[in-house]
Amino acid sequence: MLNLYATQIETVSLHRVGNKHRAEPLFLSEAPYRLNDEIGGLLKEYFFKPFREKEENYYCFRHEADLEFHPVYQAACQVFDNPGRLHEVSREIARHLFSQSNHPHIKSGECYVAYLTDVMLDNEKTDALGIFKSEVKQDFLQFEEQGANLDMLVRQGVNLNRLDKGCLIFNRERENGFKVLSSDSNRYDAKYWLEEFLGLAPLTDENFYTKNYLKFCQNFAKDVVLPAEDKQQEVLFMNRAVNHFAKNDDFEETRFLNEVMDNPELIPEFKHYKTEKGPKYSIEDVSNFQIANKAVSDSRKKIKNVIDLDTNIQIKLNFINPDSAEKFVEKGWDEERQMYYYLVYFNREQKS
């Protein structure tokens, strides 16, 4: 879990990176930017906001030959070994970003490289290297008094509520390519930032496996449980799956299937589906791993637990109390109306 509340920007360097394809220049600042309290506070909110709001999907640096040939990984190593070299290293990072900016869709923009301290990651304090880029400029009005009148001037600037691109490289797990978070609010050039510039691959840790296994289960429920049974059983399967993850520290597939699979005849279907679809989620050879509680909480919020009926009625089942959905909701067929029905038992209506 990431906490940036107490994080400080110790040093930041600012450069402008053009598009090589359009023959736009690279501008490298000679010295670090001189931060003051006002700018520092604004930059903290600008840089960190995307990482507070989005799901924590961690990456690490990867290189087909060796990490010693990875330019951003090596830059991070140099900064963590000697933070005083931040500005010198930032110029190399900007040059590398410029060298990758050769597609006509890539926008020019400002590159910020910052050294961060007091970052809380998984309840431990660490430092981090931040690389950010602003691209999209917006028009705004500036007002000036001109004698007895107020004049309007059109200016262009960066919207501090929307960071275009950014990454946080944490000083953790160096030997495995560091632990990295990336943010990109633009869809048109995603490969350029994540793969071509940063050279990142998903970090296959407990967070990765927990999220991916639950995503896999969600698709199994939709593709197999729903056609074989009904919408109620699809929702209940995911209900049981999520709660199995929530109450266990370690995942063991056989135990999971015996506990969660209400219909034993679907267990072979599950194993076949995993052989077929598992590679998409990188879980084809995974049957044991530690469960990440934060990942379970994040996944629970995204899993739909609502039965939508064609009579414009919704039935919402509770993932916190899974037994209620099975004990107090029955499905049947009304011969007179020639319609299905759900029968819901309760003692009293809850006050909202």
Q: For residue range 283-333, list pLDDT tens digits in order.
A: 999 999 999 988 888 888 777 778 888 898 888 876 566 666 677 888 888
Average pLDDT for 61-75: 93
Which pLDDT score, from 0 to 100, does residue 345 have? 86
pTM of the model: 0.80
**Separation between Cα atoms, residue 67 and residue 65, nearest integer Å:** 7
38-66: burial string, b at 16+ Cβ within 10 Å, e else: eeeeebbebbbbbbeeeeeebbbbbeeee
The residues with which 308 forms a beta bridge, in sequence order, are: 314
Tokens standing for residue 11:
């040093």
In tens, the pLDDT along 251-291 reads 999 999 999 998 889 999 999 999 999 999 999 999 999 99
Instruction: For helices 86-99 and 71-81, give the axis angle rounded to 10 degrees.
Output: 170
Tokens standing for residue 216:
């896999």
3-state DSSP assignment of residue 289: strand
Question: In sequence order, which residues have a C-beta less than 8 Å from that of residue 350 and are 6 or more positions away?
Answer: none
**Separation between Cα atoms, residue 242 and residue 306, nearest integer Å:** 15
Burial class (CB in 10 A: 0-12, 13-18, 19+), 37: exposed
Which pLDDT score, from 0 to 100, does residue 186 have? 81
Which pLDDT score, from 0 to 100, does residue 317 have? 75
Which pLDDT score, from 0 to 100, does residue 321 have? 63
Q: Is the model's pLDDT at 105 over the cut of 80?
A: yes
In tens, the pLDDT along 75-99 reads 999 999 999 999 999 999 999 999 9
Which pLDDT score, from 0 to 100, does residue 300 have? 81
Task: Name the CA dihedral angle for 93, 96, 102, 104, rounded to a multiple of 10 degrees.
Answer: -10
